[in-house]
Amino acid sequence: MRGGLWQLGQSMTRRLAQADKKTVARRYFSAEAELKKTVLYDFHVANGGKMVPFAGWGMPIQYKDSIMDSTLNCRQNGSLFDVSHMCGLSLKGKDCIPFLEKLVIADVAGLAPGAGTLTVFTNEKGGAIDDSVITKVKDNHIYLVVNAGCRDKDLAHIEEHMKAFKAKGGDVSWHIHDERSLLALQGPLAAPTLQHLTKEDLSKFYFGEFRMLDINGVHCFLTRTGYTGEDGFEISVPSENALDLAKAILEKSEGKIRLTGLGARDSLRLEAGLCLYGNDMEQHVTPVEAGLTWAIGKRRRAEGGFLGAEVILKQLESGPPVRRVGFFSSGPPPRSHSEIQDDKGKGIGEVTSGGFSPCLKKNIAMGYVKSGSHKAGTKVKIVIRGKAYDGVVTKMPFVPTKYYKPS
């Protein structure tokens, strides 16, 4: 299911228009009884959400509007996503930072209290177990969110290393926030809308920062971040208050912010040049190859001390064998696993995510090519259903990001 969300949404829309709806429902929703549901599930259905299985959850792929319209509305006004399938957790204890630094590439100790960053959990070979946004709440408290599809393996990985760390006298414990839901509010109207619901001055709250504060009268964790390239927030709210908060956000926006599904979320993150784990990052791909060198803290480059550091530091020194790059292309939109060739027809890599950009009105894609073929302007061929189409390597993001940073 991963990476094909935009395509799945388009396919479902066509099928629902052409076929008997009960037949289609059986085809796509046959496992519905086994799927986990967020507390907003009935709210999604009542608002026209087309629910599909995703990482073990029933999630909305789109609503009554098209994925194209939803994507454009996020960039022009705003979107509210239910991302409660993702896993929030806290690490606590006086040694929680040195513990986490054994598992991730970030300089966690160097973060200011209330500051966060994107990071990568690595394995012994330097490959990515998952990417995660982590926040140093204070010196003895880390808050992080991991991907839904990686939850089980991530938690097992953390727990295994935590047991060994504690056996040597380390002071660290964890709490998995299954009692909370997670909403992502994205787009130019995100901040002015949310400001109606909190007394905190959001104009002094910048990209990557974290606060605990009251929103709509409820104690929430608020991070100024997102997965669209737009300004926005991720709001961790007690699950019993999530529906009221979602309704309040939509009401305060006077209908301009819309409920938005996973299909538009996928096209938005692709336009922003952001990785989808399971497509653009996997266990055999290092952060250097994935273009996330910037996420490796300066101190960590000097000291290492995280899993796979030897491999990663060597790649920093001598360069990686492959690199993640962006593409524009002609012909049909590229899809995951489409072969990338040089201008002589020799295979040099593979597309990992691709589609038609609703904002740019052209094909965009990302994928991995051999080092040396990664520079912007390099002409390539992308093979789709046996036919090679012209493409060109381009810088990412495809659509400029609008993160709220100090001027």
What one-character-per-residue DSSP string does 86-112 give?
A: SEEEEEESTTHHHHHHTTBSS-STTSP
CA 258 – CA 246 distance, rounded (Å): 10
Closest CA to 282 of 150, 130, 156, 153: 130
Contacts of 195 (CB under 8 A, 6+ apart): 202
Statement: residue 324 has pLDDT above 70 = yes
Binding residues for substrate: 234
Mean pLDDT of 194-220: 98
The Cα 75–Cα 78 span in angstroms is 6
Sheet with strand 78-82: strands edge to edge: 210-215, 218-223, 232-238, 180-186, 78-82, 257-259
Q: Is 182 helix (H, G, I), strand (E, B) or coil?
A: strand
- Predicted local distance difference test score (pLDDT) of residue 26: 39
Residues forming beta bridges with residue 209, ordered by sequence position: 115
- Distance (Å, whole) CA 206 – CA 185: 15
What does the alpha-carbon distance between residue 407 and residue 404 come to, in Å, rounded to a whole number? 9
- 23 by Cβ neighbours in 10 Å (0-12 / 13-18 / 19+) ranks as exposed
β-pairing verdict for 362-370 and 322-329: antiparallel
| Res 114 pLDDT > 90 | yes
- Which residue, 366, 294, 356, 260, is CA-closest to 323? 366
For residue 373, give the amino acid letter.
S
Q: What is the per-residue pLDDT for 172?
A: 98
Residue by residue, DSSP assigns 183-207 as EEEESTTHHHHHHTT-SS-GGG--T
DSSP code of residue 155:
H
**Binding-site positions:** 234
pTM of the model: 0.92
Torsions phi, psi for 370 (to 5 deg): -65, 140
**Distance linking the first and last C-alpha atoms of the chain:** 40
Per-position DSSP letters for 127-154, written without gaps between them: -EEEEEEEEEEETTEEEEEE-GGGHHHH
* Residue 17 confidence class, pLDDT cut points 50, 70, 90: very low
- The pLDDT score that the predictor gives to residue 123 is 98
Flag whether pLDDT at 248 surpasses 50. yes
pLDDT digits (tens, 9 = 90+) for 147-193: 999 999 999 999 999 999 999 999 999 999 999 999 999 999 999 99
Q: Which has the higher per-residue pLDDT, 8 or 189?
A: 189
Q: Are 173 and 93 in contact (CB under 8 A)?
A: yes
Q: Closest Cα partner for 145 from 132, 128, 161? A: 132
320, two tokens = 């990686």
Cα gap 54→44, rounded to integer Å? 15
- The percentage of the chain sitting over the pLDDT mark of 70, rounded to a whole number, equals 92
Handedness of CA 245, 251, 257, 258 (dihedral sign): positive
Does the structure show a pLDDT above 90 at 109?
yes
Q: What tens digit of pLDDT does each residue of 332-374 get?
A: 999 999 999 999 999 999 999 999 999 999 999 999 999 999 9
Assess whether pLDDT exceeds 90 at residue 297.
yes
Q: Are 100 and 143 in contact (CB under 8 A)?
A: no
Contact of 137 with 93, CB cutoff 8 Å: no
Res 27 pLDDT > 50: no
Beta-ladder partners of 105 = none
pLDDT exceeds cutoff 50 at 14: no
pLDDT at 19 (0 to 100): 36
Are 47 and 246 in contact by the 8 Å Cβ rule? The answer is no
How would you label 151-172 residue by residue, b for 16+ Cβ within 10 Å and e otherwise? beebeebbeebbeebeeeebeb
What own/partner pairs with CB < 8 Å and gap ≥ 24 does 97-101 have? Answer: 97/136, 97/139, 97/142, 98/170, 99/161, 99/162, 99/165, 99/170, 99/172, 100/134, 100/142, 101/300, 101/305, 101/306
Contacts of 152 (CB under 8 A, 6+ apart): none
- pLDDT confidence band for 407 (50 / 70 / 90): confident
pLDDT bucket at 300, cuts 50 / 70 / 90: very high
Other CB atoms within 10 Å distance of the CB of residue 55: 18
Q: For the chain, what is the mean pLDDT?
A: 93
Q: Tally the residues of the chain.
A: 407
